[in-house]
Each structure stands twice: as C-alpha cells, then as structure tokens.
Amino acid sequence: MGGTGLTLPQGLRVGLLGGSFDPPHRGHAHITREALKRFGLDRVVWLVSPGNPLKPRGPAPLADRMAAARGVMAHPRVVVSDAEARLGTRYTAETLARLIALHPGVRFVWLMGADNLRQLHCWDNWQAIMAQVPVGVLARPGQRISAQTSVAARVHATARLDQAAAHLLPLMQPPAWCFLNVPMLDVSSTAIRAAGEWRAD
C-alpha cells in the first residue's frame, strides 16, 4: 500500500490505462485484454481520472464511474483505481512521477488509444511522460493513420518498437513506444452519452 491505495509488488509489469471512463465501456475492456496479452503485463490499473484537464465539462461523480468500471471489467488482473484523486494529481506526467516514486521496482507502461497519441504533444509536460515510462498505443477506429503520423510519433520515431516485439515493451528503457494494430471496437463514451444510456452531455 502507499498513498495510491495500490498493492504492487516489485518487478510487476503494470499497464496504466488512464481515462475519464464517463462511462466505461467494452472498448476499454477490449484494449485492456489486448494489452495484457500482447505487452505481457501482469496487471492493468484503470486510473479513473478526477477530470481530464483538456475536457471542458466535468465528468459524472468519481464514485459512479468507479462502480460502473468494476461492472464492465471484472477481471482478476485488472484493478480499478482512484489513485489520482488520492494523490491530488490530474496531469499524467505528475501522476507518473508520483506512482514511480511510491512503487519502486514496478515496471509501469502507459496505455492509451490511438486518439490520445495524436493529441499527446498537447498534454502538460508530454516529453516527461515519454521520458518516464514506455507507452503502449492501441488502434482505434479512424485514428490509426493520424496517430502514427502525429507529432509525438514523429518526434520519437526512433523509439518505436515493432509490434512483433510488443512483449518486450515493459522492459524497455524510455523513451519507447509501440503501436498495436489490434482488432477494433467502434465504441466511445461520447456515443453512449449521446444515446442517453449514461447521463446526458
């Protein structure tokens, strides 16, 4: 245990999937299962964000999103966590610095969908994210090409790991990233909210 509420033994390979999860859906569950398998992870932590710094509207209450996430992803190697709320961090670079300091010896990998790789260079201190942990990117409908030609992908072109070697990603010295061209699910929280199946926008 630590200030994060997470129990993570040294040497564990841990994927971190940060998100608003407003609401969580089977797209999140799908990329999590793919990441566990393809990156050879021991565990994936869903970091349910107190609120995305780039999104103008606040999400549903954290407790509601955590409960829904546990309903969507009941898996023995997946943990739904409110670590960012506990730590008081919102920016990923800062969250990673705190997690690494509080869990020495754990091999963290930051996970995200291709849409977020496209935007990564707009995130606070994004180069510190690339410097701290390997990054695993999962294909998302309509985002594959733009993600792979994004600013972050071009700046770190030489740090790209071929997906055939994806299982080595947790062992790589950052900067390192890998794009997984997995089967895709066309589902998003925005569409679920628009369909009135969660709270309205």
Ligand X SMILES: Nc1ncnc2c1ncn2[C@@H]1O[C@H](COP(=O)(O)OP(=O)(O)OP(=O)(O)O)[C@@H](O)[C@H]1O
Ligand Y SMILES: O=C(O)c1ccc[n+]([C@@H]2O[C@H](COP(=O)([O-])O)[C@@H](O)[C@H]2O)c1
Question: Which residues in this chain contact ligand X in the complex, by CB under 6 A?
Answer: 17, 19-22, 27-28, 31, 112-113, 115-116, 138, 140, 184-185, 187-190
User: What is the spatial order of strands in the sheet that 78-81 belongs to?
Assistant: 78-81, 43-48, 13-19, 107-113, 135-138, 177-180, 160-161
Minimum CB distance to ligand X smaller for 1 or for 57: 57
Task: Give the nearest distance from C-beta 33 to ligand Y in angstroms.
Answer: 18
Preceding peptide of 134 cis, ω within 30°: no
Q: Which of 20, 127, 163, 188 binds ligand Y (CB under 6 A)?
A: 20
Would you count residue 23 as binding ligand Y (CB under 6 A)?
A: no
Task: Give the nearest distance from C-beta 18 to ligand X in angstroms.
Answer: 7
Angle, helices 26-38/62-72, rounded to nearest 10 degrees: 60
Would you count residue 19 as binding ligand Y (CB under 6 A)?
A: yes
Task: Give the nearest distance from C-beta 10 to ligand X in angstroms.
Answer: 27
Q: Which of 39, 46, 108, 123 binds ligand Y (CB under 6 A)?
A: 123
Would you count residue 92 as binding ligand Y (CB under 6 A)?
A: yes
Q: What is the CA radius of gyration of the chain?
A: 16
> Closest Cα partner for 108 from 194, 2, 18, 1?
18
Minimum CB distance to ligand Y smaller for 93 or for 168: 93
> Closest Cα partner for 15 from 188, 180, 140, 159?
180
Phi, psi dihedrals of residue 196, rounded to the nearest 5°: 75, 20
In the complex, the residues that contact ligand Y under the rule CB under 6 A are 18-20, 47, 49, 52-55, 91-93, 116, 123-124
